[in-house]
Amino acid sequence: MKNLIIGSLFLLVHFSYAQNKQPNIVFILADDLGINALGSYGNEYVETPHIDQLASEGMLFSNGYATDPTCAPSRAAIMTGQYVPRQGIYRVSDRFKKDKKTLYNMRYLPPENNRPTHKGVGLSLDKILIPEMLKQKGYATAGFGKWHLGINELSMNNQGFDEAIETKSHFNFSQHPTQKDVLENEFNADYTTRKGIDFMTRKVKENKPFFLFLPYYLVHKPLEPKPETLQYFKNKYKLDEEALKVLSMITNLDESVGEVLNAIENLGIGDNTLIIFTSDNGHYKTDNGMFNKPYQGFKGSTLEGGIRIPYIFKYPKVIPANTKATEPIIQVDIYPTLMSFTDIKKVNQPLDGESLYPILTNKKKELKDRVLVWQYTNYSGYNIKKKTFRSEWVNVIQHKGFKMTEYVERDEYILFNLNTDPYETKEVSSKYPEKITELKGLLNQWKQNTQSKTPIKNPDFGKSLK
């Protein structure tokens, strides 16, 4: 277990707001849940009554973003409050290293993923993660579900959680460490929920504030919903099998969230519990496409459909109920927001986000002049005939509704005006050359501030496959 050291170097001070009593915090993180995958976000096919009720009792953000269109970098950003260049988890994996067709056509090599133990990718132990930060105020901490930020020495148990069980898949799911209380044929989400409720119950009896992190594996593939839920949707809709399975898994997620919400009320802690619900990245591609619509793109893409995600916050008597916010927010904002709600003034690592406390408490409608940035360095799927990659290194910046993408390989830039074209249907760089100049300058400032790595020429570029 790491020691949490609050020093004098690199202190980052945030506005914080004292509460009469430390709030309990329940952070529910869905996996691959798209922007149009909830009833409260406009999908008329899904059935998510519990999550929709949570939205009606709290604040829903309509312009919420993931820091990355894939899971490991986005989860690292949440836990550290830092953009990718600072925390070092750039990609889920490096498939290009085994794909010579892609490797030989890459002009540049992306930054290496962070490997603190020189083995698997993961967060360095010197990073102060959310649970460690909260221990300053005496919080008990627990995490049950998907971690994806390191194994063995870098697992949840060594990253600030008093109690932690990492799980993977849905049925016949794995656990780390292996557990003896998994029921026969138990669904992962049911088990995760059960462990979370047990933790809350014990901490309430101990009269101890707690942080409960529930990173559900739903709705990540494989598509394995509960059979009875799938049959229900088959009877209701004439849709393709894939869409029916996803709808079923979303409902299974909602059922688990409902159990957690009911437990909070039954334990009598509803008025003193901050609840956060969000996803790690945009929805994966489906034949139906409904879970990203009306946006372009999907998981693995920095188009809006790959990075827009739901955000719902509830804290009775502090966050006004049934409210919507349009302020653009991003996952690195969660860390400083929790600092504000728990009156933690500083940590000894730089943070890249902004506290959402002023918006959540209705003190402000928008934050200061915001710049949001994505650095996505994943290379894959080079097409020899089209001479294009399925995925390549891009740096993306959004400011005042204008979104510019830098294609590192080609030194090219494209621009969308999300103010008038939120679905990215019309590229407008030729119409706004001054915006390209402005955004290039802001992007360069961001690169310098985060110590973003400069592209390195690929020594294998141009090699023949023969």
pLDDT exceeds 90 at position 118: no
pLDDT digits (tens, 9 = 90+) for 227-242: 999 999 999 999 999 9
**CATH architecture assigned to 373-457:** 2-Layer Sandwich (3.30)
Percent above pLDDT 70 for the chain: 96
The backbone torsions φ and ψ at residue 357, rounded to the nearest 5 degrees and listed phi first, read -55, -45
Classify 300 in phi/psi space as left (phi over 0), alpha (psi -120 to 50) or beta: left
Residue 10: the pLDDT is 33
Q: Could you tell me if 271 and 255 are in contact, meaning their C-beta atoms sit under 8 angstroms apart?
A: no
Structure tokens at 413: 């830039």
The mean pLDDT value of the chain amounts to 94
Q: Cα(first)–Cα(last) distance of the chain, in Å? A: 50
Q: Can you give the pLDDT at residue 21?
A: 81
The Cα–Cα gap between 128 and 122 comes to 14
- Contact between 435 and 415 (Cβ < 8 Å): yes
**Centroid of chain to Cα 276:** 12
- Please give the Cα distance from 283 to 266 (Å, whole number): 33
Which pLDDT score, from 0 to 100, does residue 395 have? 98
Q: How confident is the model at residue 357 (pLDDT cuts 50, 70, 90)?
A: very high
CA distance 150 to 156: 8
pLDDT of 11 > 60? The answer is no
3-class DSSP assignment, residue 71? helix
Residue 370, phi then psi, degrees to nearest 5: -95, 145
Asked if pLDDT for residue 197 goes beyond 90, the answer is yes
**Token code pair at residue 34:** 């798209």
pTM above 0.85, yes or no: yes
DSSP 8: S
The two beta strands, 163-168 and 346-347, are unpaired
pLDDT at 90 over 60: yes
Q: Strands 394-399 and 388-391, how do they pair?
A: unpaired
Mean pLDDT score, 46-54: 98
Q: Give the separation between CA 412 and CA 164, rounded to whole angstroms.
A: 45
The arithmetic mean of pLDDT across residues 91-120, rounded, is 93
* Exposure letters 252-272 (e unless 16+ CB within 10 A, then b): bbbbbbbbbbebbeebebbeb
pLDDT at 119: 79
Tens of pLDDT, residues 247-257: 999 999 999 99
What's the whole-number mean pLDDT along residues 255-281?
A: 98
* Cα angle for residues 397, 329, 111 (degrees, 5° grid): 45
Q: How large is the average pLDDT for residues 196-213?
A: 97
The answer to whether residues 62 and 326 touch, using CB atoms and an 8 Å cutoff, is yes
Nearest of 275, 272, 268 to residue 338 by alpha carbon = 275
Confidence at 16, pLDDT banded by 50, 70, 90: very low
What local confidence, expressed as pLDDT, does residue 448 receive? Answer: 97
CATH code, residues 13-368: 3.40.720.10
Pairwise CA distance, residues 188 & 182, whole Å: 9
Give the pLDDT confidence score for residue 364 in this predicted structure.
86
Among candidate residues 267, 265, 301, 260, the one with its CA nearest the CA of residue 284: 301
Q: Could you tell me where the DSSP H helices lie in 267-345? A: 304-307, 334-341
Residue 112: the pLDDT is: 95
Question: Could you state, in order of their start, the residue ranges of all structural domains in the chain?
Answer: 13-368, 373-457
As a whole number of angstroms, the distance between CA 126 and CA 84 comes to 16
SS3 265: helix
CA–CA separation, 396 and 328 (whole Å): 15
Tell me phi and psi for residue 13, to 5 degrees. Answer: -95, 135
Instruction: Give the pLDDT of residue 369.
Output: 86
Structure tokens at 134: 């909260």
